[in-house]
Chain A
Amino acid sequence: MAELEQASPAWWHFLLPLAILGLDIAVAVSGTGQQTVWYVVRATGVIAYVLLALSVVIGLVISNRLLPGGRIKSDVFEAHSFMTLLVLAFGGFHALALLVDSYVGFSPREILVPFTSTYRPASVGLGILGLYSAAIVYASFWARKMIGYQAWRALHYTAFFTFVAVTLHGIFSGADAGAGWMIAIYVLSITAVTSLTSWRILTAED
């Protein structure tokens, strides 16, 4: 597993959330129409979901040993961990943009504390928990050396909760959940994750 070890995080990894906050403020002060902010909220949510689904699928492909070893495997692992970071970036933007948007009018508390929202509290709460659990999964990439492989692996299973929580969040509170293209994204993602997870369980050696 040495080939899959992470290099130390680049300095700009820590600036990414700040950059998102900056963009969010720029959207707010630029006088952009509320309709545009609402599209940004939804589009960042969709991109975050697609990245999450891809990251989970790639993770399952790696754990199912469907890839040849060596350079290809380490490149795919790099893509897998980096996509998780982007899930946090787009998911963070999605949440922060909701503060700017006046359509629902979320308060900071409703964005940060799960199940406190007046708008669809259960599904919005699942989205918040999904984002927090994605942060735990991403942190686990860096903490592996400290916590050991077994603990890392147990922590990494949180990714399944993240996927389920975010999928339910999208289906029950997403404005585009009924659109054909979004249904196609859900069907493809759920099918891929379910199939690969079943394969993983059926072929488990330990």
Chain B
Amino acid sequence: MSKARKRATTRQKLIRGAIVSASLLAFVPVFNQMQVDATPTVSVAEVAPAITQTQVSSTTTAAGSSTRTTPQQVTRSHTRTRGS
């Protein structure tokens, strides 16, 4: 096989590899987007009554970043306090 022919074959393989890789990589965000689209969205009006009945604490660090604890975390912390 001549040098030019070898180079052409290598280029052909690279092109095909790049297209296959790009197609398979594109599959992932498309698949994820479909999962996102399938996730039911809940309106604020539906959630608001539930929020008022749960305890959500928030703390702000010295650096200014805010951390929030979920109701489950609050309950666990509360139980531990009572047990000690």
A-to-B contact residues, CB < 8 Å: 7, 35, 39-40, 42-44, 46-47, 50-51, 71, 74-75, 78-79, 82-83, 86, 90, 176, 179, 181
A47→B23 contact, CB < 8 A = yes
Chain B residues with a Cβ under 8 A of chain A: 8-9, 11-12, 15-16, 19-20, 23, 26-27, 30-31, 33-35, 37-38
DSSP majority for the A interface?
A: helix
* Contact assessment for A51 and B15 in the assembled complex, using a CB-CB cutoff below 8 Å: no
A7 to B11, CA, bound (A): 13
- A176 & B34 in contact (Cβ 8 Å cutoff): yes
Is the contact region of chain B dominated by helix, strand, or loop, or is it mixed? Answer: helix
Q: Are B20 and A86 in contact (CB under 8 A)?
A: yes
- Contact present for A46 and B30 (CB under 8 Å): yes
Chain A residue numbers with a CB within 8 Å of B23 are 47, 51, 86, 90
CA distance A40 to B27 in the complex (A): 9
Docked complex Cα distance between A52 and B9 (Å): 24
3 tightest A-B CB contacts, nearest first:
A43-B30, A43-B31, A39-B34
Give bound CA distance, A7 to B16, whole Å: 13
